[in-house]
Structure 1
Amino acid sequence: MKIVLVTPEIPWNTGAIGRTCVALNLELILIKPLGFSLDEKSVRRAGTDYWKHVNLTQYDDWQSFLNARQPKRDQLYFFEEHGEQSLYEPDYDPDGYLIFGCESAGLPPSILDDMKDRTFHLPMLSEKVRSLNLANVATAVIFQAMKPQLGG
């Protein structure tokens, strides 16, 4: 399974997600442009001393990612606040891509075109909260998606 962050903006979210990737032996894929430099202390601080162990790949844009990886449609799982389905619904492909957008705007509409059936949300019970922190959502999704591999 691979984690894809499309144009992430906040370095400590990327660092925290990178740390989760190290813990679970997952590749972290970053789609540019990034809202920060990977050399920034805040990325390393959030990933602590684990950042050097992140299996990291970067692409200049979404199309470059698609061209290089050529994922099957059913390997793509997009996570958005208004996703059509709950993150608990799919049977996740162990070779799938868990895809998250930037903190301020989510995933671009151009990426989500014709992907409504591949778009998922994290259910919340309170209407007082519009959204959760990207690193928190990604961690919840990752552990749900990997439940079979983790003995769940």
Structure 2
Amino acid sequence: MRLALYQPDIPQNVGAAIRAAACFGAGMDVIEPCGFPLDSREVRRVAMDYGAGAAPVAHSGWSGFLENVGGARLILLTTKGDRTIWEFSFRPDDIILMGRESVGAPEEVHERADARLRIPIAPVARSLNLATAAAVALAEARRQTGWG
């Protein structure tokens, strides 16, 4: 299982996602460009010493990332998802993909995704924080696949 972040905007979210990926035993991918250097102080401060457990693999762009996906399914978390993470059957080799904090994922990412899922939240809320949503999805995927 892997967690992939598409062109993240906020270094602290990347640090928190690294920590979540490490805690759930998932690999980590970052699809550049980012709005900051991946080795920035802000990323390291939030990731703490968890970076060794889920050191992100940087990809030079969307096409570079796709070259390394292999046969894994791309599961896009999006507020526009047609199903919830509770209605989906995860597999151990899935890649959970998160869009940008500011604008989500572009249409080409939506089109390539094997599934577009959402996390049910209260009607008054717009969305969860990116790292929080990633952790919720990783926890559900791991629960379903019998890990831990």
TM-score, structure 1 normalization:
0.89
Could you tell me which runs of 5 or more consecutive residues in structure 2 were left unpaired when the two chains were aligned. none
Q: Match of 2:124?
A: 128
Give 1:52-71 correspondences, 5 Å limit. 52-71=52-71
Could you tell me which runs of 5 or more consecutive residues in structure 1 were left unpaired when the two chains were aligned. none
Separation in 2, partners of 1:39, 1:55: 10
Separation in 2, partners of 1:29, 1:93: 18
Give the conservation status (yes or no) of the 8 Å contact 2:32–2:60: yes
Separation in 2, partners of 1:82, 1:56: 26
1:146 to 139, 142, 148: 142
Name the SS for the 1:3 alignment partner. Answer: strand
Name the SS for the 2:51 alignment partner. Answer: helix
Structure 2 counterpart of 1:50, which letter? Y
TM-score, structure 2 normalization:
0.91
Separation in 2, partners of 1:56, 1:66: 16
Q: Match of 1:86?
A: 84
Q: Match of 1:113?
A: 111
Separation in 2, partners of 1:23, 1:132: 19
Give the conservation status (yes or no) of the 8 Å contact 2:32–2:59: yes
Name the SS for the 1:47 alignment partner. Answer: helix
